[in-house]
Amino acid sequence: MTVTINVKLVNSKFNQAYADKENEGEETEDNIKYLWEDEFEVQGDVSNFKVNNNTTYLLNGLYPNDDEFNFEIPDMTVLECTMTHGSKTLFPFSKKAISKTEKTETKNGMTFYVHLKSIREIINPMTGVYILKDDYPKELLELHSDEEE
C-alpha cells in the first residue's frame, strides 16, 4: 500500500471564532492556521503501518568527523512502516509536540496526518524526524548552531 505522511505545525495564535465571523471559517493573511506543512510519500510498498506511542527512539548518525553517535530520545510517538521486503521505515515525533493525529484511507493506501503544537520549538534534523528542542541532544544542538554561523 502507499502511505503518505502529512505534518502540519498548528499556529497557536489562530483564532477559529474570528475566522468563522470574518472569513467564512477560513484563515486570513493575519490569522494563519498552519505555520508550515510537510508532506511525503513513504518510498516503496508498505505491508504494515503501526503507531508506537510512549516509546524511545534511537537517533543515530555521524558527526562531521565521521564518528558515529547514538542518542535515546524518550517519550516519543513513532510511526512504523514495514515494507513488503521486510525493512522498516520510522517517523519519530516528540509525543508532547503532537496536538492530534488522523488516518484516512485512500484508493491505494492511506494518509496519516500529524498536527504539531507551535508552543515549543521543534527540531527537524532530517525528513520525517520531529523532536522537541528540549528533548534534542544538547551536543547535537551545539553542533547545529556552529554550522549556522
User: What's the Rg (C-alpha) of the chain?
Assistant: 17
For residue 141, what is the enclosing H or E element? helix 138-148
The pLDDT of residue 148 is above 60 = no
pLDDT band at 149 (very low <50, low <70, confident <90, very high): very low
Q: What does the DSSP 8-state code read for residue 134?
A: G
The pLDDT of residue 128 is above 90 = yes
The pLDDT of residue 57 is above 50 = yes
Q: Where are the domains of the chain?
A: 2-148
pLDDT in tens, 64-116: 899 999 999 999 999 999 999 999 999 999 999 999 999 999 998 999 999 99
The structure's pTM equals 0.87
